[in-house]
């Protein structure tokens, strides 16, 4: 299998490691062509003079709009875009020459393919890996979703190369279980077209096909047939799907996104970027030599369902990708794989948690709040790096800077002011721990951004209110919790535009604390500390409302995203 092929090269990389400029390194990125149906649905909305809504836009409407408003009024059923790409709702389907189309041709294909080639080349991307992981068989729907759009990408980038305009190379990543045939179509139409010989991504003189190494998509016999390519023997396969624990990485399977690892036990995955010393995501090893062959970095990543609190670290102004790159630049393996360029839409499921706060964050009253997004959510909680209307280009620019360092053989010691390395612009967040204490008939909740105070309070009999959702390592997690509203959150550690201070108040007899945006603590006690700053609008980095609640015992608590049982005023602001 392909993984063994890296063994011979590894010795060369070790020998050359002292001369970074000579280290051959390549960078791939997960690329989606799957937008045909959703993009055309958005065009229909525009044609009916509707407003083109995205999940992020519905969240920002703060309850004025509902996810049912995206397509409902137009009787359309399609995937909802989390955000709008800066290039618009593009797609790449067009009918084959001489054939009737299965759906209308997408507009602006050459513009889109040209703009993507430039964005990707400017970013230092050597090849795109087209995601075909959901389409094992050659059906009409597979043709609309991926086969034909991938052909169009080849056609367009081939034309650009004929004009001496650089494009990345292309590889495909088809789900290929026993009996599958999408891989055969892709080989026939693309890999075996002599015109595309140099457009197909190659390693060691062979064309690369990646295969999702999971039980639904992988079969030894099919992998061998792909490598044989009908007797041409000109394909090498890469297993690409390392996710669940060290065994996959040690077996040589490439990661396409790899979560950071908790410093607490050195093993579990964490979504805590703020408050953890390092990311330390797992690299892929060559099982023959133990040498490192590949590593991944992503705009963000999920450890369960991205739309749930703390299941995905989010972009954090590029901090997440920059922290992943600390490890990339330290290990500097020969292959780097990024996730992702442009998913934008994606799968939805019932929430894995039954706690009250387990719904699409920021949409507490939405009619679709309980069908949660898994891989990518809204603008912030996504692996994507393509610039978007709602999210801007921060992640794209940070990732581009990081790739440039990787290719130049530099790290942040050498380039401390590089956008990949600066932290003051990105470390603007603070963890807020929530602790409660029941003493006699007083039930008090205190919030703190100081980890040392958490320990001190615990010694004094306070108990931390955990996250009911798996993900964070700085906060405790208790998946048996059925509520979660009084749990931890993240706010800003400095005053940024459209934020206001959040104070921790203590009343004169020191029997209860409350949170407030009033520097006079609502006339009940005095400010004990400024916890940080909360957003005044819902959306972007801060999707969840923060409310102050009364408790039956006369104390206070808070509630995240949902109303309190006993409310104490309107929403204070928005946190994550
Ligand atoms: C959700 O509904 C509650 C009333 O049940 C209301 O107080 C709150 O403002 C609503 N929030 C949003 C975002 O619609
Ligand atoms: C959507 O379907 C409903 C019920 O069939 C119909 O009344 C309405 O006119 C349709 N709307 C559009 C925009 O087609
Ligand atoms: C196609 O490009 C034109 C001109 O740039 C633009 O006005 C139009 O909105 C684009 N259409 C789509 C669907 O992106
Ligand atoms: C191979 O690709 C070229 C360039 O796009 C195209 O003109 C040609 O028709 C393709 N060949 C086949 C057999 O599809
Ligand atoms: C592309 O570059 C090659 C080599 O420099 C040159 O021969 C060819 O004329 C160029 N083609 C175009 C369209 O500029
Ligand atoms: C894929 O489907 C098309 C359209 O039905 C058919 O012409 C082609 O032969 C199929 N290819 C394979 C390898 O199954
Ligand atoms: C950065 O690279 C230099 C030179 O290769 C090395 O000495 C240093 O330890 C590296 N620093 C980090 C933080 O990896």
- Closest to 491 (Cα-Cα) out of 422, 549, 541, 436: 541
- Give the mean pLDDT of 445-457: 96
> Does the CB atom of residue 392 touch ligand 1 within 6 A?
no
Ligand nearest to the CA of 160: 5
**325-375, pLDDT tens digit by residue?**
999 999 999 999 999 999 999 999 999 999 999 999 999 999 999 999 999
Q: Is the pLDDT of residue 207 over 50?
A: yes
Q: Is the pLDDT of residue 1 over 70?
A: no
Ligand 5 closest atom vs CA 163: 13
- Give me ligand 5 centre to Cα 441, in Å: 83
> Does the CB atom of residue 77 touch ligand 2 within 6 A?
no
Contact call for residues 468 and 525 (beta carbons, < 8 A): no
Nearest CA to ligand 7 atom 11: 413
Q: What is the torsion angle, in degrees rounded to the nearest 10, for the CA atoms of residue 557, residue 563, residue 565 and residue 567? A: 70
What pLDDT is recorded for position 441?
66
pLDDT above 90: percentage of residues in the chain: 92
What pLDDT is recorded for position 322?
98
What pLDDT is recorded for position 25?
82
Of residues 272 and 21, more confidence is placed in: 272
- Give me ligand 1 centre to Cα 569, in Å: 13
Structural tokens at position 271: 């979504």
Residue ranges per structural domain of the chain: 429-575
> Does the CB atom of residue 193 touch ligand 4 within 6 A?
yes
Q: How far apart are CA 321 and CA 382, in angstroms?
A: 11
Site to probe by mutation for ligand 3, drawn from 88, 93, 103 as the one with most ligand atoms within 8 Å of Cβ, is 88
555 Rama class: left (phi>0) / alpha (psi -120 to 50) / beta: beta
Question: The tokens 């921060």 sit on which residue?
Answer: 394
Q: End-to-end distance of the chain based on CA atoms, in angstroms?
A: 44
- Give me ligand 2 centre to Cα 75, in Å: 6
Nearest CA to ligand 1 atom 11: 63
Contact call for residues 545 and 536 (beta carbons, < 8 A): no
Q: How far apart are CA 42 and CA 89, in angstroms?
A: 7
Q: What is the torsion angle, in degrees rounded to the nearest 10, for the CA atoms of residue 509, residue 513, residue 514 and residue 516? A: 80
Residue 173 phi/psi, 5-degree rounding, is -135, 70
DSSP 168: -
What pLDDT is recorded for position 438?
78
What pLDDT is recorded for position 555?
86
Containing 130, the helix (H) or strand (E) segment is strand 127-132
Site to probe by mutation for ligand 4, drawn from 110, 193, 199 as the one with most ligand atoms within 8 Å of Cβ, is 193
Q: Is the pLDDT of residue 16 over 70?
A: no
DSSP string, 477-531: B-TT-S--TTS-EEEESS--TTEEEEEEEE-TTSS-EEEES-TTGGGSSEEEEEE
Whole-model pTM: value is 0.94
The mean pLDDT of the chain is 94
């Amino acid at each position: 299998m392909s993984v063994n092929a890296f063994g011979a090269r590894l010795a060369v990389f070790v020998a050359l490691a002292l001369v970074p400029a000579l280290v051959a390194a390549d960078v791939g990125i997960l690329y989606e062509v799957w937008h045909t149906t959703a993009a055309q649905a958005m065009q229909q909305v525009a044609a009916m003079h509707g407003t083109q809504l995205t999940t992020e836009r519905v969240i920002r409407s703060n309850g004025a709009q509902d996810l049912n408003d995206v397509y409902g009024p137009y009787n359309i059923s399609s995937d909802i875009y989390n955000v709008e790409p800066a290039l618009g709702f593009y797609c790449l389907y067009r009918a084959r020459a001489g054939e009737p189309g299965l759906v209308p041709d997408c507009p602006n294909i050459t513009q889109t393919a040209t703009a993507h080639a430039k964005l990707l080349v400017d970013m230092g991307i050597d090849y795109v890996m087209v995601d075909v992981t959901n389409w094992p068989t050659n059906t009409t729907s597979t043709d609309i979703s991926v086969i034909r759009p991938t052909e169009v990408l080849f056609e367009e980038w081939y034309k650009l190369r004929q004009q001496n305009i650089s494009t990345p190379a292309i590889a495909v990543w088809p789900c290929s279980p026993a009996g599958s045939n999408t891989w055969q179509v892709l080989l026939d139409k693309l890999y075996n077209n002599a015109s595309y010989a140099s457009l197909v991504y190659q390693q060691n003189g062979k064309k690369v096909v990646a295969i999702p190494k999971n039980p639904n998509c992988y079969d030894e016999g099919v992998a061998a047939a792909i490598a044989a390519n009908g007797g041409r023997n000109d394909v090498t396969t890469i297993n690409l799907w390392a996710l669940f624990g060290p065994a996959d990485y040690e077996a040589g399977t490439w990661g396409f996104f790899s979560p950071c690892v908790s410093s607490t036990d050195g093993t579990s995955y964490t979504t805590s970027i703020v408050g953890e010393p390092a990311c330390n995501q797992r690299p892929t090893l060559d099982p023959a030599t133990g040498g490192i062959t590949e590593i991944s970095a992503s705009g963000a990543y999920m450890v369960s369902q991205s739309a749930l609190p703390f299941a995905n670290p989010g972009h954090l102004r590029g901090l997440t990708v920059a922290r992943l790159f600390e490890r990339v630049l330290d290990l500097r393996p020969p292959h780097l794989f990024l996730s992702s360029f442009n998913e934008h839409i994606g799968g939805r499921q019932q929430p894995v948690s039954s706690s009250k706060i387990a719904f699409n964050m920021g949409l507490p009253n939405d009619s679709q709040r309980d069908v949660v997004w898994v891989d990518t959510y809204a603008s912030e909680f996504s692996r994507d790096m393509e610039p978007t209307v709602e999210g801007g280009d921060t992640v794209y620019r940070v990732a581009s800077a990081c790739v440039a360092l990787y290719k130049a053989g530099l790290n942040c010691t050498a380039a401390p002011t590089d956008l990949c390395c600066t932290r003051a612009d990105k470390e603007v967040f603070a963890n807020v721990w929530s602790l409660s204490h029941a003493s006699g008939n007083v039930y008090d909740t205190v919030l703190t951004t100081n980890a040392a105070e958490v320990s001190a309070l615990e010694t004094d009999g306070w108990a931390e209110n955990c996250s009911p959702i798996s993900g964070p390592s700085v906060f405790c997690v208790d998946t048996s919790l059925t509520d979660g509203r009084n749990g931890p959150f993240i706010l800003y550690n400095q005053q940024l535009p459209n934020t206001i201070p959040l104070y921790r108040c203590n009343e004169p007899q020191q029997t209860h604390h409350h949170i407030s945006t009033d520097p006079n603590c609502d006339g009940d006690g005095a400010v004990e500390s400024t916890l940080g700053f909360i957003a005044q609008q819902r959306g972007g980095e801060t999707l969840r409302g923060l409310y102050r609640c009364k408790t039956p015992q006369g104390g206070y608590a808070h509630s995240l995203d949902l109303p309190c049982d006993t409310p104490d005023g309107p929403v204070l602001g928005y946190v994550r």
